[in-house]
Amino acid sequence: MKKYLLFLLFSFSAICFGQMYKTLDTADYIQRKEFAKNYTANNEILIKDLKTRYSGKAGSEVSKIYKELGADFETKVKNKDFVFNSVFDTKVKNLIERLRKNNAQIPQNLKILIAKNNTPNAYCFADGTFVINMGLFNWLNNDDQLASVISHELGHKITGHTLKAILNMINEDQMDKTVVQNIKSDKTNRSQRAFEVLKNRIYQKGAENRKQEMQADSLGYVVFKNSDFKKTEFINALKRLEDFDTISPKQLKVETYRKFFNLPKQEFQDKWLKKEDFSLYNYDHFDQKLSKDSLKSHPEVTLRINNLKKIFPELKTEVADEKASESYAVLGKIARMETLPNFYHSESYGVGIYASLQFLQDGEEENYYKGWLGRCFEKIYEARKNYKLNRYLDRVDPKNQSESYQQFLNFMWNLSLDEIKNIADYYQTKES
């Protein structure tokens, strides 16, 4: 959720076609059905191959895991989490072909999917299904930066990181069972010893994941530099991702609340802005049993950049981002307009309202974002009425949220059921 909020920071120019913009068509039943059918068949072939390659307990466990992963992914496909034959497909396929020209190790059977997800991320499955989140088109600045992220994921694919991680997990499970049996046989400090086993397992997994990320960076850059992309954009892409990880959300001004919630039939009330007082909470007494740094699956982006510069000296020279091509700029605008539809699809209604208000505060496409404001408020109303609001709206967390987002959450929780309904109705009528 935190990363969703950080996504709202980056400022783009106004989109001239916003007033007429229609969300991407997801009436792609035939394509989804065909993809799901092929994916299931390919996953079954993969599982049979794994059983042949790994006998005994390991073969049985790895096959079970891939079967569960496949079933979960099929559910996402059926849930319309991806768009088929979209305007983004051609661009991604073109970039992969450019990468493949001088990199024979890139698999030929890659199948591209565009996810209705606003986070700038990508991932690849063992069968060659390559998922690109729509957020990458919004967050990154040009073709080369997108190609660098694809190269990184190809690094994971080529080295078989996913399968290696699963096999390590299975092996560690077996070792842990032996340790657990020893703990059961000796009651001395049983709870503490069990916790140490769990902690060591979690830390070890985090360390292995961070190591794999570094490896994927290095191999990904080799793939990238062998192609016709500008080398320095590999580092520039990481810097963009670092911004996504670390910058606090842009401030939502109090005046914005007054402007958009002072309605003809419901005047704005100052009590809606009242904040919960957390000053009496003493966080110094909180005993953190697990180190956050050791839990991270990715190394700090600064470390990744420094590691690449150490291995590849040509990356030490920093150059400003290349200007986006016309085709990439168009896709970036479409991805930006899909921000609210994507939040709505993922049932992130609270964040959707926060995003709508930030777009409206910047004066972007008022009719479009007012419409989504109304839709999200309608869902919040239904959740509040059915005592399910916690599913769609965060609670205030002073240690992990910006002041702006805390203010927003206080505002939302301060609204009564009727007040929420009045806002939802207003922004879903023509008079808004």
For 27-55, write each residue's pLDDT tens digit.
Answer: 788 889 999 999 999 999 989 998 888 88
Rounded Cα–Cα distance for residues 292 and 306 (Å): 22
18 pLDDT band, cuts 50/70/90, is very low
Distance of CA 167 to the CA centre of its chain: 25
199 pLDDT band, cuts 50/70/90, is low
Residue 288: predicted pLDDT: 56
* Global pTM value: 0.85
Rounded Cα–Cα distance for residues 51 and 53 (Å): 6
Rounded Cα–Cα distance for residues 254 and 408 (Å): 10
Q: Contact at 8 Å (CB) between 356 and 372?
A: yes
- Other Cβ atoms less than 10 A from the Cβ of 236: the count is 22
Q: Which residue has the higher pLDDT, 127 or 100?
A: 100
In this structure, of 49-63, 86-100, 340-354, the range with the lowest mean pLDDT score is 49-63
Write out the two tokens for 398.
């002073």
Q: Contact at 8 Å (CB) between 59 and 50?
A: yes
Q: Which residue has the higher pLDDT, 317 or 17?
A: 317
DSSP 323: P
Write out the two tokens for 86.
């979209």
Rounded Cα–Cα distance for residues 427 and 276 (Å): 28
Give the bridge partners for 13, in sequence order: none
The owner of tokens 């020279």 is 317
Residue 358: predicted pLDDT: 93
Indicate whether 409 pLDDT > 60: yes
Rounded Cα–Cα distance for residues 207 and 136 (Å): 26
End-to-end CA distance of the chain: 29
Q: State mean pLDDT over 347-353.
A: 96
Residue 277: predicted pLDDT: 78
Indicate whether 216 pLDDT > 90: yes
DSSP 298: S
Give the bridge partners for 263, in sequence order: 266
Residue 8: predicted pLDDT: 47
Structure confidence by residue, pLDDT tens digits, 152-191: 999 999 988 888 888 787 777 666 666 656 666 666 766 6
Q: Contact at 8 Å (CB) between 252 and 408?
A: yes
Q: Contact at 8 Å (CB) between 255 and 363?
A: no
Q: State mean pLDDT over 400-413.
A: 93
Rounded Cα–Cα distance for residues 373 and 300 (Å): 35
Rounded Cα–Cα distance for residues 235 and 313 (Å): 12
Amino acid identity for residue 124 in this structure: C
